[in-house]
Amino acid sequence: MGLLSNITGFGRPKNTGASAVFGFLFLFISSIGLWVNEGRSVDQMDALYEMQQAITTLPDTKIHPDLDKKAVLIQGKVSATSPAKDPEFNISSSNSLALQRIVEMYQWKQHSRAESKHETSYEYSKEWSSEPIDSSTFKESEAHYNPSFPYPNEIFSTEAKIGDYILSKSVLAKIPFSNTLGLSSFPDTINNAKNHKSFLFIGKDVNQPSIGDVKISYKTAAEGIYSIAAASANKYLTDFTTENNKSLSFVRQGIVPATKIFADEQANNTTLTWILRFTGLFVMFLSFSGILNYFTGFADYIPVIGPLLSGVKSVIAGVLTLILGSFVIAIAWFSARPILSISILIIGGIIAFLLNKFAPKRKVADNTKNASTATTSPHS
């Protein structure tokens, strides 16, 4: 709220320099963000198209030396060669490709609320969190101390194979952790933790936890039938590197054709592009609002002008956002696709030239025809 107030000036005296400073700063940031997003979008689009054009669907799960270093789609059962295991607590899963340890600690969390321009109130709650909360940044840090995490969140993987191919770590990491591992088959006490069958607990009372108490649970990446689009590298499946230096590999559960995989990835890229576009344009709108807020603040001293400008300020900010945002996106596309952009401009110019050239001739021809008709009409 504080940062938003600084940018837009809502709830604050309008005639302040901070509004304009933050406005210009975030205007620059949003413009750069829009530019980078367009470049990222085009690069990803090109990389996906390149891999799709190069990919070969394998008829089986045997190694094909003739396709070494090339993009392949392989479909079949992915199996673990040994159990995935957490050595710290001796937790293992024999039918899993990887084991994810999720550590949560009962911690203090600070909540801030701006009461006025110069006053901020702070509240504290106790919450389970899988991420460390740094209490040293709290306003009242001594009374709300969070200890450090005793164990990190970690992934334990094993060697996984699909037929004769071995999955590289980058490919294996794309298999989702979709199953929760039950702990009923493990001892009631493991190290200093109590086994509650679905999670391990370190502390005195799980029903009345104290700050610093820990819960540990596990998820697994299951064996099963998968479709993997990747690069064949000897006996390994690894990321496919495109000409624009993008590293790509995709994993889908079940038998999925290459056309479906790449259509989904192109759709994901388009969705992400529009999300980032709207985010950049929204930040740009807030930036223009902050800048206009500063300059229109002076008009508040004029009885009629002040309310009038305040009423249309959002409209002006919206128009400026559309103009600058569209310009940045267009220039970014021109930079990423110069030949295509120039070709479109040339074609558009030729069409405009032909239309412009054709229209006067038609007008002259019509005038000549009318004159001829007027001359011959008395003899009709």
Q: Which two tokens stand for residue 260?
A: 């479906």
Residue 371 is which amino acid? Answer: A
Q: What value does the mean pLDDT take over residues 58-69?
A: 95
- pTM for the whole structure: 0.77
Cα distance between residue 239 and residue 237, in whole Å: 7
**Cα 88 to Cα 94: distance, rounded to the nearest angstrom:** 17
Sign of CA dihedral 351, 357, 359, 361: negative
Q: At what angle do helices 305-336 and 338-376 cross, to 10 degrees?
A: 110
Tens of pLDDT along 306-333?
Answer: 555 666 778 888 888 888 888 888 888 8
| pLDDT score at 290 | 85
pLDDT at residue 270 tops 70: yes
Kindly report the backbone phi and psi dihedral angles of residue 64, in degrees, each rounded to the nearest multiple of 5, phi listed first.
Answer: -115, 100
* Digit-coded pLDDT (tens) for 195-240: 999 999 999 999 999 999 999 999 999 999 999 999 999 999 999 9
CA distance 145 to 315: 47
Q: Which amino acid does the sequence have at 315?
A: V
Q: What is residue 54's predicted lDDT score, i.e. its pLDDT?
A: 97
On the question of pLDDT at 143 being above 50, the answer is yes
Kindly give, in sequence order, each residue whose CB lies less than 8 Å from that of residue 24, ignoring residues fewer than 6 positions away: 287, 291
Give dist(CA 295, CA 140) in Å, integer: 38
Q: What percent of the chain has pLDDT over 70?
A: 81
- 38 contacts 327 by C-beta, under 8 angstroms: no
For the chain, how far is it from start to end, CA to CA, in angstroms? 84
| pLDDT exceeds 80 at position 304 | no
Domain boundaries, the chain: 64-234, 339-373
Can you tell me the distance from the alpha carbon of 18 to that of 9, in angstroms, rounded to the nearest whole number? 9
3-state secondary structure of 284: helix
Residue 221: strand pairing partners: 98
Count CB-CB contacts under 10 A for residue 311: 9
Q: Return the higher-pLDDT residue of 59 and 16.
A: 59
Give the model's pLDDT for residue 172: 96
In this structure, which amino acid lies at residue 108? W
Q: How far apart are CA 260 and CA 75, in angstroms?
A: 14
Residue 251: both structure tokens together: 């994993």
pLDDT tops 90 at residue 99:
yes
pLDDT bracket for residue 2 (50, 70, 90): very low
**Angle value at C-alpha 147, between 92 and 220, nearest 5 degrees:** 20
The residues that bridge with 79 in the sheet, in sequence order, are 161
